[in-house]
Amino acid sequence: MKKTTLSIAVLASLCSSAFAASGSQSYSPKAGQDYPQQVYWGDTHLHTSYSFDASMMGNKQLGPADAYRFARGEEVEAHNGMVARLDRPLDFLMVSDHSEYLGLIPMLGTGDPELLNDPVGKRWAVLLGGDTDQSLKAMFEIHHDINTNHKSLANAKVERSAWDDIIAAADRYNDPGKFTTFIGYEWTTMPGGDNLHRVVLFADDASKAGQVLPFSSFDSENPEDLWRYLQSYEDKTGGRVLAIPHNGNVSNGLMFALTDRDGNPLSRQYAETRSRWEPVAEVTQIKGDGETHPKLSPEDEFADFETWDKGNLTADALKDDSMLPYEYARSALRLGLQQEAKLGVNPFKFGMIGSTDAHTSLSSGEENNFWGKFSVYEPNPSRAGEYAYTEGRQGKVFSLRGEETAAAGYAAVWATENTRDALFDAMKRRETYATTGPRMTVRFFGGWDFDEHEVERPDYVLQGYRKGVPMGGDLTAAPADRSPRFMVSATRDPEGANLDRVQIVKGWLEADGTTEEKVYDVAWSGERTPDANGKLAPVGDTADSRNATWRNSIGAAELTSVWTDPDFDRAQRAFYYVRVLQIPTPRWPTYDEKHFHYQLEDRSTPEHIQERAYTSPIWYTPAQGTES
């Protein structure tokens, strides 16, 4: 009996290898086809009236339920009296209100007597009743509390009830298969105003997430304490949770620093813990783009995109160039290779997502449907020219103008179905990408055995999973004399602009311990040939500022490539990710000018931009003994 079983097993394995080699038909039609067939679009970072700053900056009436209604495609009345609606519904959303003073400001607004009896509560209530400057003053006082980890108004009742409301709204709107909601919040630590924020995302429902209260920066400003909290949550409830860092660009060198909060070099344990809890990073959003910076990537002519590099989050400190390497994703991925060689574990092994970080309850990442960072910046003819921070006022060391905010971004997730579990699994395996708003479809596989025309096959996706790994995956054990091949396919947003080009960004670790990066154009539209320096000419620009339109008369609807790394060295650690660029289209203030019939004076931002997507990397790690 045993023998028979064994021989059947052997036979089966022979058959399956024959199947893989020749492509002959399996008896089971769906064998090997449980891979993600669909990309789901969402936002894991959205604030509502329950966030102190959202509420103080005009979000008085739109709570979590409104946020979910808007995201699933319904009309919602905004604070400026206009009806807001998404062009197309999102597939998932997490309301992630600040855990610090969660729900407090709306409670002050209702005149909760207990809060008004507290002198601080009373002071804020009065300031909030004043003009915009006074509300800003109240907001900066709360910023100060958070910067200094000082909770000047504690009220357990408010915290519990606000968290219960948020959980209940998420569970109420979760509709598996159609629209997924996540329970979550934002841990808003910012020592001295330097941003170390993380969004915390639970895979679970109220029965588990309701057993804890959000961890706040008043509990600790140290990310390692947040990770301990996440561990204790999983231990206590058997649930699952992860954290998503964002806006390294306003961290003044802290987000991907090579020391912990006490100033010690990173340890193996730090690296293991960080990569365990933070599988993806939010690399593009309203407060600027975080892929790379022109000073970090001087050879990359597309590096200067929605750049926010004046200083820290609260405009209390200026930036200097030495901080940049520890702020941006590409650079952090390079540092990660270095740290991995040293520690044995990569602390910065993250995939990429985008999200909005809007504080309006309206998850709108599109240039022509942008509802602003705060409710006071909902569409109106003055928002692009107004100053959120003014240098020299209220201690601010630089000015920040409305036009500088970016209408971005969204998270694209390759999951097997639209449920909390499946989306969470996909984020854990980093099968995700970021876009700055448009919904282009991007597939990316790495492997050793793709043939040159693999991507032209109708079942190239199946081959991608069979012969290789998808975005977020790992390659190792390079066969002798082989270089890794990457199969990439990018399709424009069906309702958006054509594509200019597809690039593969490679970073690697040299034998001497330094890191390098290079951007390769791997597919492009039209009849362009790279020049002597390998640079491809710009695609052109059909965008018309006066009418806020563009034409798809340039660019391509889809671009594909099977690309072999021409500079591969099997002894070098490396990562590869894809960047897809659209043809130029109008930026949001251009749509504002058209809609409100005015002209933005002293404009400092471009009229047209090339929107983009960034995939999670595929890492190559030399097998033991082959590393230089």
458 binds another protein per the rule CB under 8 A: yes
Q: Can you give the length of the chain in residues?
A: 628
Q: Strand 280-285 to strand 288-289: parallel, antiparallel, or no bridges (unpaired)? A: antiparallel
3-state secondary structure 292-340: CCCCCCCCCCCCCCCCCCCECCCCCCECCHHHHHHCCHHHHHHHHHHHH
Name, in order, each residue with C-beta under 8 angstroms of 196's C-beta and a sequence gap of 6 or more: 189, 190, 221, 223, 245, 251, 254, 255
Q: Which residue, 466, 394, 320, 361, is CA-closest to 59?
A: 361
Q: Which is nearer to another protein, 131 or 531 (CB)?
A: 131
Q: Which is nearer to another protein, 111 or 566 (CB)?
A: 111
Q: Which stretch binds another protein (CB under 8 A): 122-130, 141-149, 222-230, 352-360?
A: 122-130
Q: Which is nearer to another protein, 75 or 320 (CB)?
A: 75
Q: Which is nearer to another protein, 266 or 497 (CB)?
A: 497
Paired tokens of 441? 């479809």
CA–CA distance, 172 with 168 (Å, rounded to integer): 6
Among 63, 354, 409, 472, binds another protein (CB under 8 A): 63
Count CB atoms within 10 A of the CB of residue 627.
Answer: 14
Among 176, 494, 513, 534, binds another protein (CB under 8 A): 494
Q: How far apart are the first and last CA of the chain?
A: 51
Residues 289-318 binding another protein (CB under 8 A) are none
Q: Which is nearer to another protein, 79 or 330 (CB)?
A: 79
Among 192, 261, 596, 603, binds another protein (CB under 8 A): 596
49 binds another protein per the rule CB under 8 A: yes
The b-or-e profile of 287-300 (16+ CB within 10 A means b, else e) is: bbbbbbbbebbeeb
Residues 88-107 binding another protein (CB under 8 A) are 106
Residue 132-151 contact track with another protein, rule CB under 8 A, x = bound: x--x----------------
131 binds another protein per the rule CB under 8 A: yes
Minimal distance, residue 593 CB to another protein, in Å: 13
Minimal distance, residue 554 CB to another protein, in Å: 17
Helix H or strand E segment including 245: strand 241-245
156 binds another protein per the rule CB under 8 A: no
34 binds another protein per the rule CB under 8 A: no
Among 79, 98, 373, 429, binds another protein (CB under 8 A): 79
CA–CA distance, 17 with 15 (Å, rounded to integer): 5
CA–CA distance, 623 with 177 (Å, rounded to integer): 40
Handedness of CA 33, 39, 44, 50 (dihedral sign): negative
Residue 335-374 contact track with another protein, rule CB under 8 A, x = bound: ----------------------------------------
CA–CA distance, 114 with 155 (Å, rounded to integer): 9
Minimal distance, residue 49 CB to another protein, in Å: 7
Among 33, 394, 547, 626, binds another protein (CB under 8 A): 33
CA atoms within 13 A on the CB side of 296: 29
111 binds another protein per the rule CB under 8 A: yes
Instruction: Fill in the DSSP letter of residue 596.
Output: H
Q: Which stretch binds another protein (CB under 8 A): 326-334, 428-436, 488-496, 578-586?
A: 488-496
Examine residue 238 and say whether the peptide bond preceding it is cis (omega within 30 degrees of 0). no
Among 7, 11, 18, 23, binds another protein (CB under 8 A): 23
What is the DSSP code string of 386-432? -EEE-TTSTT-SS-EEGGGS----EEEEEESSSSHHHHHHHHHTT-E
Minimal distance, residue 118 CB to another protein, in Å: 15
Per the CB < 8 A criterion, the answer to whether 596 and 380 are in contact is yes
459 binds another protein per the rule CB under 8 A: yes
Minimal distance, residue 24 CB to another protein, in Å: 10
Q: Which stretch binds another protein (CB under 8 A): 8-16, 225-233, 421-429, 490-498?
A: 490-498
Among 557, 623, 626, 628, binds another protein (CB under 8 A): 557
Residues in the site for another protein, rule: CB under 8 A?
Answer: 23, 25, 29-30, 33, 37-38, 49, 56, 58, 60-61, 63-65, 77, 79-81, 106, 108-111, 125-126, 128-132, 135, 161, 165, 168-169, 172, 380-382, 441, 455-460, 462, 489, 491, 494-495, 557-558, 560, 596-597
